[in-house]
A and B are shown apart, each in its own frame.
Chain A
Amino acid sequence: MTIRRSVTRVWAVFKARNLEYLRDRASFGWNLVFPILIVLALAVVFSGPPTGIFSITYLGAHDARPALLDFPGVDTVDATETTRALDRLARQQTDMVIAVAEGEVRYWINGYSAAGALTEQLLKFSESRPLISGRTEGDGIRYIDWVIPGILGMNMMYSALWGVGYVVVRYRQAGYLKRLKATPLTKFEFLSAQVMSRLMVTLSASTIVFVGTNVVLDYKMVGSIWLLVLIALIGALSMITMGLAIASRTESKEFADGLLNALTFPMLLLSEVWFSLEGSPDWVQWIAATLPLTHMLDAARAVMLDDAGLLEIAPNLAVLLGFCVVGMGLSTRLFKW
Chain B
Amino acid sequence: MVEIPILALNSVSKQYDDVLAVNALSFQILEGQCFGLLGPNGAGKTTTLEMIEGMTPPSSGAIHYRGGPVPSDYQDRIGIQFQATALQDFLTPFDNLKLFSAFYDHPLPMQTLVDAFQLKDFLHRDTRRLSGGQRQRLLLALALVHDPEIVFLDEPTTGLDPRSRRDVWDVVQRLKAEGRTLVLTTHYMEEAEVLCDDLIILSHGAILRHGSPTALLAEAGVETLDALFLSLTGERLDAPEAAV
Contact = CB atoms under 8 A, between A and B. Distances in A.
Interface of A: 5, 8-9, 11-13, 15-17, 19-20, 23-24, 171, 174-176, 178-179, 181-185
Contacts of A175: 82, 84-86
Nearest to B73: A184
Given A9-B102, A178-B82, A183-B75, 18 more contacts: A9-B103, A12-B99, A12-B102, A12-B103, A16-B91, A16-B95, A20-B89, A23-B90, A178-B85, A179-B80, A179-B85, A182-B55, A182-B78, A182-B80, A182-B82, A184-B75, A184-B76, A184-B104
Given A5-B105, A8-B102, A9-B103, A181 B55 contact: yes
6 contacts: A9-B103, A171-B88, A174-B86, A179-B142, A182-B78, A183-B100
B153 to A, nearest CB: 13
Contact of A20 (B73, B85, B90): B90
A5 B95 CA distance: 19
B208 interface: no
Contacts of A19: 90-91, 95
B53 interface: yes
A176 B88 contact: yes
A178 B49 CA distance: 14
Contacts of A5: 105
A13 B88 CA distance: 11
A179 B90 contact: no
A19 B90 CA distance: 8
Contacts of B98: 12
Nearest to A21: B90
B110 interface: no
Contacts of B73: 184
Interface of B: 53, 55, 73, 75-76, 78, 80, 82, 84-91, 95, 98-100, 102-105, 142
Contact of B85 (A9, A24, A176, A184): A176
Nearest to B87: A176
B158 to A, nearest CB: 14
A15 B55 CA distance: 26
Contacts of A183: 75, 100, 103-104
A176 B91 CA distance: 13
A181 B103 CA distance: 11
Contacts of B85: 175-176, 178-179
Contact of B99 (A16, A178, A181): A16
Looking at A13, A182, A185, the one whose CB has the most chain B CB atoms below 10 A away is A182
B82 A179 contact: yes
Nearest to B76: A184
Contact of A182 (B75, B89, B91, B105): B75
Nearest to B90: A23
Contact of B55 (A12, A23, A178, A185): A178
Q: Pick the most buried of A8, A16, A176: most chain B CB atoms within 10 A of its CB.
A: A16
A247 to B, nearest CB: 16
Q: 4 closest Cβ contacts across the A-B interface? A: A174-B86, A12-B102, A23-B90, A183-B103
Contacts of B91: 16, 19-20, 23
A185 B145 CA distance: 14
B105 to A, nearest CB: 7
Contacts of A11: 102
A229 B104 CA distance: 36
Contact of B89 (A8, A24, A178): A24
Contacts of B142: 179
Contacts of B102: 8-9, 11-12
A211 B103 CA distance: 38
A179 B86 CA distance: 8
